Amino acid sequence: MSERVLMKGNEALAEAAIRNGCRHFFGYPITPQTELAAYMSKRMPKIGGTYLQAESEIAAANMVLGAASAGVRAMTSSSSPGISLKTEAISYMCGSDLPCLIVNVQRGGPGLGGIQASQADYWQATKAPGHGDLHILVFAPCSVQEMVDLVGKAFALADQYRMPAMILADGMLGQMMEPVVLCEPGEVQMVEKPWAVTGHGGRRPHNIVNSLFLTPDELERTVKERFERYRKIEKTEALAENYMTDDADYVIVSYGACARIAKSAVLAAREKGVKVGLVRPLTLWPFPKQDLIKAAEHAKEFLCVEMSMGQMVDDVRLAISCSRPVSFFGHTGGIIPTPAEILAEIEKMAGGNA
Amino acid sequence: MSTLRTLIAGFGGQGSLFFGKVISYCGLHDDKNVTNLPSYGPEMRGGTANCSVIISDEEISSPLVLNPDTLVVMNLPSYDKFVGTVAPGGNIILDSTLIDKKVEREDITAYYVPAAELAEKHNLQGLANIILLGKFLAVTGFTSLETVEKTFEKVVPAKKAHLIPKNIEAVKLGMEL
Amino acid sequence: MATVFQRTESLLPVNIYCPGCAHGIITRLVAEVMDELGIAGKTVGIAPVGCAVKAYDAFGCDMIQAPHGRAPAVATGVKRAAPDNVVFTYQGDGDLAAIGTAETVHAATRGENITVIFVNNAIYGMTGGQMAPTSLPGQITQTTPYGRDVAAAGYPVRVCELLSTLDGTTYAERVTVDNVRNVNKAKKAIKKAFQTQIDKKGFSIVEVVSTCPTNWGLTPVKAFGWMRDNMLPYYPLGVYKDKTAEKKGDAAE
């Protein structure tokens, strides 16, 4: 096991990617993810890897498409406005069954929005990361350690299921320093990619990486096959932390950095005798429905806490089939909810019981 | 000490982020849990830069430091902005060369350190922040001097390694005040 | 009976273009060059969006279908990941000189060690004959029904001239395929472009001035006539840049 080191979230993401076999990074500068690209630009030349600053986010994502087609672990990173530009290539990669890693260190939106931490790209990441019928794997770390751990998982599952994976972080996680233990490079298992385009060498028919199916039947068959894979992923790969939910009358649902603050509020509420728990999704797609269904068995009410206008609320309602009220508390980009604010919401929810 | 919640604030360039980095590494070296949340963006460019650090034996949930146990301020705007946030019973350490104010709150303890002036006087130019760090160490006892010395060897870049003795001198000066 | 002409191995037996389209000639030339250089087994081609969108079915090498205009970025990704492979893009004028201008210019300026085959027929073919960035002043298209008015729609882009100004471009030549002599010259240029890449000398582009009988509303023979009369004066044939003798073969990988 490696030693414990202190790292900034953005840099830890980069180092974790390298240790998980990524040697091809294509990026474009944007706050608050720039340290990730800067770290890559420093490390990649020393380990025989590629760091390329592209002319645009569009080009960077398409370079990832090319490198992924050649079978390597490729990645790009950006922040919200830049991710919008990457959605074209993301859709093509979904349609071409290409694995890759995309990091979104979210900032406030819409438009140029702000540069402070936000979670306002939940809808984009989980519902429409590109045009067409598609999903990508979406991971929501809440600490620098978890960012590192989920980078490994994201690459592994992307390769296994042949689809893009996203780390949905935010400016707070990207900028924050925490102690972290990195994996040893030798621990990574790479899968065979017989579909990759690296030249047929006269040994096989030519491989084609393609998302175009002009015959409607063929397109539908391809998409349906892909959705069977998605159904399997939904059954097996959803992840959540259930914190003090066993006896909880009230359940907070929160992810990422925001969930840490919610956790402080849960502790404070417990001290006051309110039975509150926290369900913290680690995967936003697939969404951890089973954890919520289980929590709903005894919880009276749910509260979503997000750094957005409440983009996850409907997913929680759907997961529990609207069997319990689901309310929302949050702020938009840059205003991080405080434990005291969340505690006040919990007390409001618990009414006279608090 | 089980949990130390501190906020270090000043103008960009005064070294508040470096202060935060040093104490964060001390926490790491003492095998504690640490979060270090810096401000970033335009405020870094000539505005105020601040850094929230939590060092704890416990798992740290919220990394926010809204009510620091100990506040370190290096300029007047930061003083004005944050003096009211210090937790009752907490401390404020300020550079009295640059902040010409007396703390009116009676529920917190104030330490006036003429750090900028002392740095000039003791040939420790640019190390006012480290003098304050020495005072911070004396006030909070969050770690040992040995750990701080070990930490400087880690965080000072190799090409500036010759500055390590000066840094340690600055810490000791701050501790003795 | 003696065989005097046959399909080259890297050209697969499919029909992806309109009857009489010069794309067929150009696609065949690229396939012949791959086979003559013996590189088909290690070549990765990038098909664009446009008339050559299904070029992945026509070329026998490994192929990628790229988003519209992004072929040079996709090619960059492939080449950086697999520098021993030969990587080419096969793009039309809308793809290369409109939506993909940034990708084209920056792949060239990086001196990306790839080969670009650029087919310029002054029109969007696949979508049914709209104005292209290379449509001529006054040219009537579906979206310039009164002729391309340069005051409103701007001027055509001369790609070889543009890219020749960039230090990263090693080789740029404009050719056409309207007769045997020109077809042979075009093939020679394409071969040189691939060789430039094999020698690690950087970015190479061959612009092939071509026709669109279907959307121009002309027979294939008359289309070549129109091309000679109207396009070649605006897009003169020739070598626009050739630094292959000077470059050391140290292109970025």
Domains along the sequence of chain C with CATH:
23-242 (3.40.50.970)
Asked whether the predicted pLDDT for residue C250 surpasses 90, the reply is no
| E strand or H helix that includes residue C236 | none
Identity at A311, one-letter amino acid code? Q
| Residue C243 φ then ψ, to 5° | -105, 20
Sign of torsion, CA C102 C105 C109 C114? positive
- Residue A2 contacts B where some CB pair is shorter than 8 Å: no
Asked whether the predicted pLDDT for residue B101 surpasses 70, the reply is yes
- Residues in chain C whose beta carbon is closer than 8 A to a beta carbon of chain A? 40-44, 46, 53-54, 56-57, 59-67, 70, 73-82, 85-86, 102-103, 105-106
Asked whether the predicted pLDDT for residue B43 surpasses 60, the reply is no
Contact call for C77 and A210, based on CB within 8 A: no
When pLDDT is averaged across residues B36-46 and rounded to a whole number, the result is 72
Question: CA angle at residue A328 from A238 to A120, to 5 degrees?
Answer: 65
- Cis status, amide bond into A286, omega within 30 of 0: yes
Structure-token match 């956790």, residue found: A263
- Give pLDDT tens digits along chain A (354 positions): 578 999 999 999 999 999 999 999 999 999 999 999 999 999 999 999 999 999 999 999 999 999 999 999 999 999 999 999 999 999 999 999 999 999 999 999 999 999 999 999 999 999 999 999 999 999 999 999 999 999 999 999 999 999 999 999 999 999 999 999 998 887 788 999 999 999 999 999 999 999 999 999 999 999 999 999 999 999 999 999 999 999 999 999 999 999 999 999 999 999 999 999 999 999 999 999 999 999 999 999 999 999 999 999 999 999 999 999 999 999 998 889 999 999 999 999 998 554
| DSSP secondary structure code for residue A56 in this structure | S
Say if CB B72 and CB B6 are below 8 A apart.
yes
Residue C169: its pLDDT value, please?
A: 98
Chain C residues closer than 8 Å to A63 by CB = 73-74, 76-77, 80
- Residue A108 contacts B where some CB pair is shorter than 8 Å: no
Q: How far is CA C16 from CA A214, A215, C58, C209, in A?
A: 12, 15, 7, 19
- Please write the tens of the pLDDT for every residue from A199-217: 999 999 999 999 999 999 9
Answer CATH for A4-236 from 3.30.1330.10, 3.40.50.970, 3.40.50.300, 3.40.50.1000: 3.40.50.970
Pick from A268-282, A327-341, B41-55, C141-155: least confident: B41-55
Distance between CA atoms of C66 and C49, rounded to whole angstroms? 7
Asked whether the predicted pLDDT for residue C143 surpasses 90, the reply is yes
Q: For CATH 3.40.50.920, list the domain ranges present in chain A.
A: 240-353
Say if CB C31 and CB C59 are below 8 A apart.
yes
The set of chains that have 3 or more CB pairs under 8 A with B is: A
Contact call for A65 and C85, based on CB within 8 A: no
Nearest Cβ partner for A59 among C64, C80, C102? C102
CA distance A76 to chain B (A): 21
Chain C residues closer than 8 Å to A92 by CB = 66-67
Distance between CA atoms of C85 and B153, rounded to whole angstroms? 46
Q: How far is CA A30 from CA A62, A79, C71, in A?
A: 18, 6, 24
CA distance C139 to chain A (A): 31
Contact call for A212 and C60, based on CB within 8 A: no
Residue A228: its pLDDT value, please?
A: 98
H-only helix segments in A20-170: 34-43, 57-69, 80-95, 122-126, 144-161
- The three-state secondary structure class of A240 is strand
Contact call for A257 and B40, based on CB within 8 A: no
Chain B residues closer than 8 Å to A112 by CB = none
Distance between CA atoms of C155 and A353, rounded to whole angstroms? 74
- The three-state secondary structure class of C134 is coil
- Please write the tens of the pLDDT for every residue from B102-136: 999 999 999 999 999 999 999 999 999 999 999 99
Distance between CA atoms of C172 and C161, rounded to whole angstroms? 8
The set of chains that have 3 or more CB pairs under 8 A with C is: A
Residue B46: its pLDDT value, please?
A: 60
* Lookup: tokens for A342: 């969340």
Burial class (CB in 10 A: 0-12, 13-18, 19+), B122: middle
Distance between CA atoms of A285 and C253, rounded to whole angstroms? 36
Q: Which residues contact A19 (CB under 8 A, 6 or more apart)?
A: A152, A182, A183, A184, A185, A188
Share of chain C above pLDDT 90, in %: 95
Q: Where are the beta strands (DSSP E) in A234-289?
A: 240-243, 250-253, 276-281, 283-285
Residue C253: its pLDDT value, please?
A: 59
Say if CB B9 and CB B78 are below 8 A apart.
yes
Q: Which residues contact A251 (CB under 8 A, 6 or more apart)?
A: A245, A276, A277, A278, A279, A292, A295, A296, A299, A301, A302, A303
Say if CB B9 and CB B50 are below 8 A apart.
yes
Q: Is C touching A (3+ C-beta pairs, cut-off 8 A)?
A: yes
Contact call for B41 and A179, based on CB within 8 A: no
The CATH fold assigned to B3-176 is Pyruvate-ferredoxin Oxidoreductase; domain 3 (3.40.920)
CA distance A104 to chain C (A): 20
Asked whether the predicted pLDDT for residue B47 surpasses 80, the reply is no
Closest CA to A291 of A331, A251, A334: A251
Burial class (CB in 10 A: 0-12, 13-18, 19+), B172: middle
Chain C residues closer than 8 Å to A69 by CB = 44, 64, 74, 77-78
> To probe the interface with A, which of B43, B52, B61, B147 has the most A CB atoms within 10 Å?
B61
* Lookup: tokens for A208: 């084609």
Q: For CATH 3.40.50.970, list the domain ranges present in chain A.
A: 4-236
Question: CA angle at residue A60 from A85 to C251, to 5 degrees?
Answer: 155
Residue B40: its pLDDT value, please?
A: 76
Q: Where are the beta strands (DSSP E) in chain C?
A: 43-47, 62-65, 86-92, 115-120, 169-176, 203-209, 238-242
CA distance A33 to chain B (A): 11
Residue A189: its pLDDT value, please?
A: 84
* Lookup: tokens for A196: 């990759």
Helices vs. strands in chain C: H and E counts, helices first: 11, 7
Residue A333: its pLDDT value, please?
A: 82
Give the chain B residue nearest A4 (alpha carbons). Answer: B28
Chain-centre distance of CA A260, in angstroms?
Answer: 16
* Lookup: tokens for A165: 């994976």
Nearest Cβ partner for C62 among A92, A96, A197? A197
Residue C252: its pLDDT value, please?
A: 67
Distance between CA atoms of C204 and C117, rounded to whole angstroms? 9
Residue C56: its pLDDT value, please?
A: 97
> To probe the interface with C, which of A53, A93, A98, A206 has the most C CB atoms within 10 Å?
A206
Contact call for B28 and A338, based on CB within 8 A: no
**Beta partners for residue A330, in sequence order:** A306
Chain B residues closer than 8 Å to A115 by CB = 40-42
Residue A304: its pLDDT value, please?
A: 98
Residue C247: its pLDDT value, please?
A: 85
Distance between CA atoms of A327 and A347, rounded to whole angstroms? 13
Span A240-353 CATH architecture: 3-Layer(aba) Sandwich (3.40)
Sign of torsion, CA C180 C185 C191 C193? negative
Interface of A with B in 184-223 (CB under 8 A): none
When pLDDT is averaged across residues B16-39 and rounded to a whole number, the result is 96
Query: pTM, whole model, 2 decimals?
Result: 0.95
Contact call for A263 and B61, based on CB within 8 A: yes
How many beta-carbon pairs under 8 angstroms link A with B? 61
* Lookup: tokens for B174: 């701050």
Burial class (CB in 10 A: 0-12, 13-18, 19+), B81: middle
> To probe the interface with C, which of A50, A63, A72 has the most C CB atoms within 10 Å?
A63
Nearest Cβ partner for A67 among C41, C78, C102? C78
Say if CB A171 and CB A118 are below 8 A apart.
yes
Contact call for A6 and B28, based on CB within 8 A: yes
Burial class (CB in 10 A: 0-12, 13-18, 19+), B77: middle
Give the chain A residue nearest B41 (alpha carbons). Answer: A115
Chain B residues closer than 8 Å to A340 by CB = 66
CA distance A201 to chain C (A): 4
Helices B145-155 & B128-140 angle (0-180, nearest 10): 150
Nearest Cβ partner for B61 among A175, A179, A260? A260
**Beta partners for residue A166, in sequence order:** A102, A138
